Amino acid sequence: MHYSRFTGILAVCLILIPPVSASAVVVDGIAVVVNKDAILVSEINEVLMPLMQEYREKYSGKELQKRLTELRETVVNQAVETKLILQVAKEKAVTVNERDIDTRIDAVKSRFPSEEEFLKALATKGLTYREYRDQVAEQVMVQQTVQSFTSSGIDVSDNEIKDYYRDHPSEFVTESKVNLAQIFLASPREATPGTVEAIRQRAIQLHVLIEDGMDFMELASHYSEGPNVENGGLIGIVGRKEILPELEKIAFELESGEVSPVIETSYGFHILKAIEAMPAREVSFEEAKPFIEERLRETKRTEKYKQWIKELRSKAYIDVKL
């Protein structure tokens, strides 16, 4: 499934549970009060600082200041949202499966050469393993709470799906594609006119052999200087603008099984074969239906999430001290 707006919102919520050590609390300041809970300055900075560095590399002057102000507001707002969700989770006594926590931690551990290196990385963040595990548990809790709330009561009717299909016809037309194989003879840039002509004649001779019935892919395996020689010069399925313009024009005019004439480009000489021509076509309603249904569900989940957060904010005591 495509990376959706709702999934993106959820991902941000998970990111914004940053690693903060217990020792940091002693010297830390309070950035935001959310009901009876505090969000620490260090929690905000843990997310903010790496992003600020990226912005400083991209922007400068007034534009940088504007972007940094917007970034800080975004990070603070998302941290508040995450805290509100955690409060709901604790109020509803959401439980977290230990195996889900283990799976998350194991995925992170796998990026390190050893457990010792993993623990060292935690230490540089001021974290013990137990503190880190507690934070991962909160991440899982946030995810479960959001998914539980936003997934319930989401229905998509057949009429909604039909209406979407009718109203967005351009989304349900496949692009034309072609499954190509190629014989390629390279023509070095420093080659003399005589050498280039000799290479052209070799390409023409190969084309004659193909016309006489010799197997294209067998010839490619023996004589082509292009990629995938071991696979008979198979390029694979390509769309428009995915190959050289000189090749594209001819490739998309070929019928299935048809072989092109010899084509000269700045790289050399090419002979193409359309293993299968795949013209653009309209995707049927039945084919499109599952994708439309999921897209509409995703949209409704996103809207439900936004409304939920709006209600939580309206009922909460929020004091931003930054």
Half-sphere exposure of 88 (CA within 13 A, CB side): 22
Task: Count, in order, helices (H) and strands (E) of the chain.
Answer: 12, 9
Q: Are 72 and 117 in contact (CB under 8 A)?
A: no
My answer on whether 199 and 252 are in the same domain is yes
Provide the number of structural domains found in the chain. Answer: 2
My answer on whether 137 and 231 are in the same domain is no
My answer on whether 50 and 142 are in the same domain is yes
Q: 50-60, pLDDT tens digit by residue?
A: 899 999 999 99
Q: 97-147, pLDDT tens digit by residue?
A: 999 999 999 999 999 999 999 999 999 988 899 999 999 999 999 999 999
The residue behind tokens 């499954």 is 179
Pairing of strands 234-239, 177-186: antiparallel
Structural domain boundaries enclosing 151: 5-157+287-320
Q: How far is it, in rounded angstroms, from Cα 232 to Cα 219? A: 8
Q: Would you say residue 284 has pLDDT above 90? A: yes
What is the per-residue DSSP string for 241-310?
TSS-HHHHHHHTTPPTT-B---EEETTEEEEEEEEEEE--EEPPHHHHHHHHHHHHHHHHHHHHHHHHHH
Neighbours of 256 (CB within 10 A): 12
My answer on whether 187 and 136 are in the same domain is no
Q: Whose CA is closest to 51, among 81, 75, 80, 18?
A: 75
Q: 16-36, pLDDT tens digit by residue?
A: 444 443 333 334 799 999 999
My answer on whether 132 and 266 are in the same domain is no
Q: Would you say residue 203 has pLDDT above 80? A: yes
Share of the chain above pLDDT 90, in %: 85
Structure tokens at 291: 């994708």
Q: pLDDT averaged over the chain? A: 91
pTM of the model: 0.64
Chain center to CA of 77: 24
The distance in angstroms from the start CA to the end CA of the chain is 39
In a domain, 131, yes or no: yes
Q: How far is it, in rounded angstroms, from Cα 194 to Cα 202? A: 13
- The Cα diameter of the chain in Å comes to 85
Confidence of residue 163 (pLDDT cuts 50, 70, 90): very high
**Dihedral over Cα of 99, 103, 104, 108: its sign:** positive
Give residue 228's pLDDT.
Answer: 86
Residue 232 amino acid letter? G
My answer on whether 45 and 127 are in the same domain is yes
Where a domain ends, among 263, 279, 295?
Answer: 279
My answer on whether 102 and 251 are in the same domain is no
Q: Which residues pair with 281 in a beta bridge?
A: 174
Neighbours of 265 (CB within 10 A): 13
Calculate Rg over the CA atoms of the chain. Answer: 29
In a domain, 166, yes or no: no
My answer on whether 122 and 257 are in the same domain is no
Give residue 220's pLDDT.
Answer: 96
Give residue 8's pLDDT.
Answer: 52
Give residue 20's pLDDT.
Answer: 40
Give residue 15's pLDDT.
Answer: 45
Chain center to CA of 32: 32
Give residue 266's pLDDT.
Answer: 94
Q: 72-92, pLDDT tens digit by residue?
A: 999 999 999 999 999 999 999
Q: What is the CATH number of the domain that holds 250?
A: 3.10.50.40
My answer on whether 249 and 314 are in the same domain is no
**Dihedral over Cα of 289, 290, 294, 300: its sign:** positive
Higher pLDDT, 264 or 151: 264
My answer on whether 38 and 152 are in the same domain is yes
Give residue 125's pLDDT.
Answer: 84
My answer on whether 186 and 203 are in the same domain is yes
My answer on whether 189 and 150 are in the same domain is no
Dihedral over alpha carbons 145, 86, 11, 291 (to 10 degrees): 20
Coil, helix or strand for 109? helix
In a domain, 162, yes or no: no
User: Looking at the chain, how many residues does it have?
Assistant: 322
Q: Would you say residue 277 has pLDDT above 80? A: yes
